[in-house]
């Protein structure tokens, strides 16, 4: 029994680390890992007990995870409490969210650099050097945005 608990705890810990890589809070990441591994719907009370956090902390984390589409509320016949479970393809959804975020940020960087390029005063003695640096950076960001757009399209199919 102890070996099983140790293995369970190790699995939860590793899946929690994975969630944290995607900028989930430690509580959100642990909660998502537990819901994923438990493979059954849980109430807020049950989740609080499983991860050792307050019901309030679990409620906040569940709302955030639900907003991201990573958990779903489940109806259980005869029960008045809300039950939650991890969404299908939860790690694919995490990756898709992250890639979209990178794509949005990269696209914004391209726009900002274009503005900087236009804003360099014509009489600036370093204008040519600055334009070259901005052009190189723009080229990188445009290529990155193109790659991220392709990855987003693949992950949504």
110-132 pLDDT, tens digit per residue, is: 898 888 888 888 888 888 888 88
Question: How distant, in Å, are the alpha carbons of 2, 60, 68, 92, 128 from that of 71?
Answer: 29, 13, 8, 13, 52
pLDDT computed for residue 120 by the predictor: 85
Could you give the CA distance from residue 61 to residue 54 in angstroms, rounded to a whole number?
A: 11
User: In the 8-state DSSP scheme, what is residue 69?
Assistant: T
pTM comes to 0.74
pLDDT computed for residue 104 by the predictor: 87
Q: Are 35 and 55 in contact (CB under 8 A)?
A: no
Residue of 74, 77, 92 whose CA lies nearest to 38: 74
Q: Are strands 71-74 and 83-86 parallel, antiparallel or unpaired?
A: antiparallel
* pLDDT tens digits, one per residue of 5-40: 789 899 999 999 999 988 899 999 999 999 999 888
């Amino acid at each position: 029994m102890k070996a099983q608990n140790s293995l369970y705890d190790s699995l939860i810990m590793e899946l929690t680390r994975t969630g944290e890589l995607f900028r989930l809070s430690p509580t959100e990441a642990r909660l998502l890992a537990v819901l994923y591994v438990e493979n059954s719907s849980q109430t807020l009370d049950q989740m609080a007990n499983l991860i050792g956090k307050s019901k309030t902390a679990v409620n906040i984390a569940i709302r955030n995870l639900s907003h991201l589409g990573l958990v779903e509320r489940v109806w259980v016949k005869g029960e008045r409490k809300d039950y939650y479970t991890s969404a299908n393809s939860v790690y694919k959804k995490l990756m898709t969210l992250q890639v979209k975020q990178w794509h949005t940020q990269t696209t914004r960087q391209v726009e900002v650099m274009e503005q900087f390029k236009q804003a360099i005063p014509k009489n600036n003695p370093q204008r040519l050097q600055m334009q070259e640096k901005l052009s190189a950076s723009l080229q990188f960001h445009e290529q990155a945005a193109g790659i991220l757009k392709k990855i987003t399209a693949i992950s949504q199919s």
